Amino acid sequence: MRVLGIDPGTMVTGYGVVDDINGKLSHVTHGTIEGRRKDSFPDRLKLIFDGLNKVIEEYKPDSIALEEVFYGKSVKSAIKIGEARGIAILCTASANIPMAEYAPTVIKRAVVGSGNAQKVQVSEMVKVILALSEAPEKFDASDALAIAICHCHRSKLMI
């Protein structure tokens, strides 16, 4: 099973692809889709749309996992993240790929063992789980890999 994890954001959207072959997880790719502050909001959403579609087309995931909206910051930022999530959901639906969503605490618990883990802890555990030589440079990418890892673990429980 190949899983694409997506950490949606309007300035930076992280993605990570993980293969699960008989319970052994392996890293395929990860990265970020980054807008610029001077870009208009619609242009940033289009950048996310085009970037995710390119990743989906190139890596052909069997399923896609997203982080659910996190309410803690502000209503305005939650709405903007919701719009980026909408783009990710549209890409998923357009490609006709099954999708799952996980709360941030569920993702952290699946990767670190604690729902209150910090980003650096998540990044280090992603490095260990996927046997990477170094942790991803950006937390958005390591978070996306963590989402994919979480889905690999959780999907076994749902069978």
Dist CA 116 CA 107 (whole Å): 10
Express each pLDDT in 100-137 by its tens digit: 999 999 999 999 998 889 999 999 999 999 999 999 99
Domain extents in the chain: 2-157
**Distance from CA of residue 13 to its chain's centroid?**
8
- For the cut 90, the answer to whether the pLDDT of residue 82 exceeds it is no
Q: Which of 7, 19, 34, 68 is catalytic?
A: 7
> Is 67 annotated in the active site?
yes
Q: Which of 67, 68, 101, 143 is catalytic?
A: 67
> Is 7 annotated in the active site?
yes
Note the CATH architecture for domain 2-157.
2-Layer Sandwich (3.30)
pTM over 0.85: yes
Q: Which of 19, 34, 57, 140 is catalytic?
A: 140
Dist CA 123 CA 142 (whole Å): 5
Task: Compute the Cα dihedral for 141, 145, 65, 54 and give only its sign.
Answer: positive
Whole-number pLDDT of residue 115: 84
